[in-house]
Amino acid sequence: MSDLIIKSGNLVNPGGEISGVHDIYVKDGKIIGIDEDTTKLNSPTIIDAEDRIVCPGLVDLSVRFREPGLEKEATIHSESIAAVSSGVTTVCYMPDTQPIIDTPAQIKLVEDIFKGINLCKVKVLASLTKNLDGNRLSSMMELKQAGAIALTNCFNPIKDSLVLRRAMEYASGHEITIFYQPQNDCLANDGCVHEGKISNKLGLPGIPSAAESVAVAEAILLSKLTGVKLHLCRISCQESIMLIKNAHSAGIKVTADVAIHQLFFDENSINNFNGDFHVIPPFRANEDLISIQDAMLNDTIIAVCSDHQPHNEDAKQAPFSNTQHGIASIEILLPLMMDLVDSNIMDINMAISKVTSSPASILGIDAGVIRKGSSADLCIMKKEDWVFDQTKILSSGKNNPFIGKKFSTRVDKTICSGKIVYENK
């Protein structure tokens, strides 16, 4: 592993004490100093970062790389390349693979695959219930001891509130974080778009906002009852934001994130039954979009994730309601965040914090910040106009409604544990 000096980069470091133009010194995968003498370094590689922004490596709270079991859609290798091209150095791996990640052996398998590829780091989320069935609790403490960063049931419903309560009670007693994707399955009723004017116009089955907000209310009240560390995933509507804000006012410690695409589209974006716009939760009304953006600014929602879900071409070719939901978006996570900055929706420090220090704080890991002694997980980006061209997509999944979008920021280099894992050439 080569020693590094990153010269004259403009540090954007919301979770750390040092920002502005500085030199960073890296040895044995660690940041050994900022603006310090180079005598400790052995023939270092010099990276000229003048006129570049240097930020912590991104921490993505939700990815699906499909392996093991679904390699026909994507692999950990292909999607890790896509991840580091967007400055992502740590990913949270969802357990809905085949087989389900609900045993220590499955956690180790995923970790070993990532170690062999050696591009980005992985934090595995294991299944909250056995086989994600929503009924039988998994061996929660055993999974934590095996390395699971948190437990989740993904999209799979837990219909019995008592099961959810017991899961939260156990998790609370053993300091286990629960990632909960709120959706009342009965109210969702197999819908595929937001229940509103567009669902009526297109004749598509709708999912009302209440399907999410009812589940948010239940989860918050049960977290108050049990004291569990609760993280609400992929918030999409105004009512949910109101409930989270009220919980914060009442002293209930709950965190929340939003998928990056929810900050750009509303129900009016669905055009010509394009399956690339089929996502869960669905794109909602314009007032929901505005509320989500406002919730970002006041820290009701503290993190943004890619919610990366690559699919093969056939998965999006069926009639809209029968297509697979999800977007393969990890390789434009950072460019999209910078687009929000360019649009004056938020400043650069807030934008970077939502994908670095804040998700790291949710996970309770030492990441998402540039400081002496921390792992050298860094992203170097530059101002440059470019177009997201389908022919140049690195992910195996081409299911992306942002294809053709113009960006003004791109990643120049990504460094993970002191190793340059991506260079834009």
The residues annotated as belonging to the active site are 307
Q: Please, are residues 94 and 125 in contact by the beta-carbon 8 Å criterion?
A: yes
Q: At what angle do helices 209-226 and 238-249 cross, to 10 degrees?
A: 20
Please say whether the dihedral angle defined by the alpha carbons of residues 257, 118, 3 and 365, taken in this order, is positive or negative.
positive
Encoded tokens for 112: 């070993």
Residue 400 identity (one-letter amino acid):
N
Give the separation between CA 24 and CA 6, rounded to whole angstroms. 5
Encoded tokens for 131: 């086989």
Tokens 């992502």, residue located: 88
| Strand ranges (E), 204-302 | 206-207, 229-232, 254-259
What are the C-alpha distances in Å from 337 to residues 263, 333, 393? Answer: 9, 6, 18
Q: Please, are residues 132 and 102 in contact by the beta-carbon 8 Å criterion?
A: yes
Q: Please, are residues 29 and 1 in contact by the beta-carbon 8 Å criterion?
A: yes
Nearest to 413 by CA among 47, 58, 30: 47
